[in-house]
Structure 1
Amino acid sequence: MPTREITDATLHESVAGNDIVLLDFWAGWCRPCQVFAPIFEEASERHPDILFGKVDTEAQPELAEAFEIASIPTLVAFREGVIVHAEPGAVRGPDLDQLIEAVRGLDMSDLHAEVAAQAGEVSR
């Protein structure tokens, strides 16, 4: 599946409608972003069950701010609507595949229980 442009208007639907979502926060002037772009695109072809989205930080500054993006490229991974990975820096192809397999292998019942427990602590 080719990568999709993600905007403020499409973020919620994209994350809610897909089990795994990988977002690449980038900018056109960023050399590491340019190096990472074909790696990200190739991974999207190898993993058609995952939504690969690109967030142009220049065009979507509100998303970059909401995700506290301080350095680009930054890769953010969601699983079942929960952020399970967020890290700046370009990723090599084999490392991206390894990250994808780690995200696939997560026990989400434990993670959802942990998120619920933290939400309970915050509301007290």
Structure 2
Amino acid sequence: MSEVISSADFQSKVLEAPGKVLVDFFATWCGPCRMLAPVLDEVAAENAAVKVYKVDIDQSPDVAARYGVTSVPTLVVFVDGQVVNQTVGAQPKQNILALLNA
């Protein structure tokens, strides 16, 4: 299951993490975000080498603003703390896997 992290955790869990990290910028009121949640849980369960975290844009607006998140859900892939890929909108599992492997 993907873990919801706060602004305080973002530095250590995402920016300082080695390897790939997938961050889902979401909101509790967002229907597509709720539809995407079980897909992200599957991706997390099947890809041990990728950490998957969720950032609530209403609870951590500073992080969302730093990465230009204006629409949710937004998925951002980090490798060794650097943004390497991102997409906006609910995505099917194969698109998320392609995003991670691009």
**TM-based fold match above 0.5:** yes
Q: What does residue 60 of structure 2 align with? A: 60
* Cα shift readout 1:50-98 (whole Å, capped 9, x = no counterpart): 1100001111111111111110000000012110012211110111112
Secondary structure in structure 2 of the residue aligned to 1:83: strand
Q: Determine if contact 2:21/2:50 at 8 Å carries over to the other structure.
A: yes
Q: Percent identity over the alignment?
A: 32
Greater fraction of residues in strand: 2
TM-score (norm 2): 0.92
Q: How does 1:71-110 map to 2 (within 5 A)?
A: 71-102=71-102
For 1:1-124, list aligned pairs within 5 A. Answer: 2-15=1-14, 16-102=16-102
Please report the RMSD computed on the Cα atoms of aligned residues, expressed in angstroms: 1.1
**2:86–2:99: 8 Å Cα contact kept in structure 1?**
no
**Using CA pairs below 8 Å that are at least 6 residues apart, which structure has the higher relative contact order?**
2
- The secondary structure found in structure 1 opposite 2:77 is strand
Contact 1:21 1:78 in 2 (8 A): yes
Q: TM-score, normalised by structure 1?
A: 0.76
| Residue pair 1:18, 1:51 contacting (<8 A) in 2 also | no
**Greater fraction of residues in helix:** 1
Find runs of 4+ consecutive structure 1 residues off by over 3 angstroms. Answer: none
Structure 2: state its 5+ residue gaps: none
Aligned residue identity for 1:90:
A
CA distance in 1, matches of 2:25, 2:38: 14
